[in-house]
Amino acid sequence: MKNLKSIIPIILVILAELAIGIVLLISPLQFTQGILITFGIVLIVVALFLIIKFIILKKKQEEASVIPVIIAVVALAVGIFTSCFSGFIMSTLAKFIMITYGIIMIISGILKLNFYVDAKREGYIFSVFVIISAIFTILFGIVVCVLAFLLTGASIAKILAYTAAIGLVVEAAFDIFTLVKTFIEHKKA
C-alpha cells in the first residue's frame, strides 16, 4: 500500500495528460478557449476578493495598502478581456499558446529524466521505457514549438492543437505502460 501511495501523483499526472490530450483531439479550439475563459474568471474572482478586502479594511479604519487595489484593477481588466475576447486572443496568440504547450511538454520530459536518475541513484529498478517516454516527451515538445514557428495561416491553431494532443496521448500511453511494467518488476523483486 505504501508503494501505491507514493505513485498517486504520477497516476494523477498521467490521467491529466490523457484527459487533456483526448479533449484536445476532440475539440482543440474550444478546449483552449475554455482554458482562457477559466483563466479570466479566476482573475476576476481574485480581483474582486482583493477589492472587497481593501474596502473592508478601509471601513474598519485599518491601514490598507493601495498596491493590492492596483493589482486587483489590472487583474480585473485582464480577466474581463480574457473572458470576453478569448476567440480574439486565440487567433492572435495561437503560436504563443502552442509554444506554451510545447514548453510544458519539454519540462515534463526533463522532470521524467530527473525522476529516473534520482530513482536509479536510490537503487530503484526502472524500465528503459521511462527514458524512452521522457525523450519522446521532450522531442514532441520541441516539434510543437518548431511547428509553431513554421506554420502560418488560419488553421495553425487547430494543427498545433492536434499535434500537442497526439503528443500528450502517446506520452500518457508510454507512462501507463512504464508504470505497469515498473509495478510488475517491483512485485517480482
Least-confidence region, from 1-10, 81-90, 153-162: 1-10
pLDDT in tens, 59-118: 887 776 788 888 889 999 999 998 888 878 777 777 787 788 889 889 988 988 887 787
Q: For the chain, how many structural domains are there in total?
A: 1
Owning domain of residue 173: 2-188
State the Cα–Cα distance between residues 61 and 142, nearest whole angstrom. 54
- Residue 169 pLDDT: 85
State the Cα–Cα distance between residues 92 and 125, nearest whole angstrom. 47
Comparison of pLDDT for 8 and 173, the residue scoring more: 173
Main-chain phi, psi angles of 27, to 5 degrees: -150, 75
C-beta of residue 131 within 8 angstroms of C-beta of residue 175: no
C-beta of residue 152 within 8 angstroms of C-beta of residue 159: no
Residue 1 has pLDDT above 50, yes or no: no
- Estimate to the nearest angstrom the gap between the alpha carbon of 152 and the chain centroid: 24
